[in-house]
Every structure is written in structure tokens, then in C-alpha cells.
Amino acid sequence: MNAYCRKLAWLSACAALALGVPACWGSSDRGGDTGAAGTTGAAGDSGPGAGGATGSAGSAGTTTGRGGTTGSAGTTGTGGAVTVPPGGLFTSLLGKTTTDVDTKVTTAVNRFFGIGTNEPTTPTRDSGYRCYYELPQDASMAFIWAADSDDVRSEGMSYGMMIAVQMNMQPQFDRLWKFAKTYMQFPASSAVSAWRYYFKWQGTVNRSNATSWTATFSDAT
């Protein structure tokens, strides 16, 4: 639009100059014959100049509005208190007295460890309940014997140590743990580095010599 106005003003000025030039020459300025009439000028262009080109649309805005702040998380609720009555489920569900429960548990544990049962100190498959046996040559080590397969397994040793902890039987736990460390644990020099310090899962105890039993746990297991 500014360019169009500037051009229109320039054309107007030129027209004014053109119209003003003859006015400077009056009839009294020059004598002589009257000059011939001038030729008729050509008609001027019609109307105002053509309209300017339509401007292009402005580019879309690029600024994204800022999101609101994230709300803080709620506090974690505390867990409900669990009350275990003396005797556990045996008393709460079966209606047994704590004395009955204690007697049953103690009897089962004593049978498992051979305490006060007068069972043989050598594994015997067809009689008794005993599973815990100490080595005759070293009573500081003991194992849990599996009667059905006549061997020693890692899960049996685990159960024996767990029961010993729950019943506060520190000497029995220490003997089982020492046996596991001595005969079942892979040494630091094991050929397979991934097995080092882990425990072998199955082995046997040869009792052919009544005074010195031999525990064997293969590296392949």
C-alpha cells in the first residue's frame, strides 16, 4: 500500500509540472502570428491504478503453553497389625490348647533329632523317626539323612537348620552348618567359577566303618 501511494504521489507531481509548464508562457511573451492550434492530446488512462497484490497469510504461532505442575504423591498407608495368638492356627482354628500344641511340636522335634527317643545313632531305615545323625569320628558335625534314598540332600539340611533356629537349638544348628561347609560347599578354587561358595545338592555317607564315616559329594552335583 505504501508503494502504491508513493507511486500515485509521484504521478500527481509529474502531472502538475506538465500542466504548469504552458502557463509560464503567456501570449504577451512573444509577438508574431498566432500559432496553429495544437493537436488534440490522447485520452488519459482510465481510473486509478490496479489494486496491489493480496498479502500472504502470517505464519502460525509456535509457542506452546506451559503445562501445569504435577501434583505430589499421597503418603503410603501403614499396614494393619497382625496378631498371632499363642499356639497359632492350631488354637485359633482347631481349638487346641497351647499346652497341647507345645507338646505335639516338642515330640515331633525330638523324634526328628533323636532326642530322648533311644533310637540308634546309626541310620536305620525300617524303624524309628530319627533323621539327624552326628559323625562318630567328629561329633561337631551332623547331617540330615533321607531314609528313602539313603543319602544327604541340601533341602534336608536346610529344613534341619531351620527347625533348629525356630526351637533355639544352637548346638544342632552349628553341627549341621559345619557339615555343610566342610563337605557340601564348592571351594573358592572350584573349576566352575559360577559354582564357587554354593552348595552341592546331593551326596552320601558311607557307614561301612562304624567308627569313621565317609561323606562324599560329587562336583557334578
Q: Residue 30: is its pLDDT beyond 50? A: no
Please tell me the pTM assigned to this model: 0.62
Give the tens place of pLDDT for each residue, 94-128. Answer: 999 999 999 999 999 999 999 999 999 999 999 99
Output the CA angle 148-149-154, nearest 5 degrees: 110
pLDDT score of 204: 97
Residue ranges per structural domain of the chain: 89-216
pLDDT score of 75: 75
Please give the Cα distance from 9 to 3 (Å, whole number).
10
Please give the Cα distance from 144 to 183 (Å, whole number).
13
Give the tens place of pLDDT for each residue, 156-192. Answer: 999 999 999 999 999 999 999 999 999 999 999 988 8
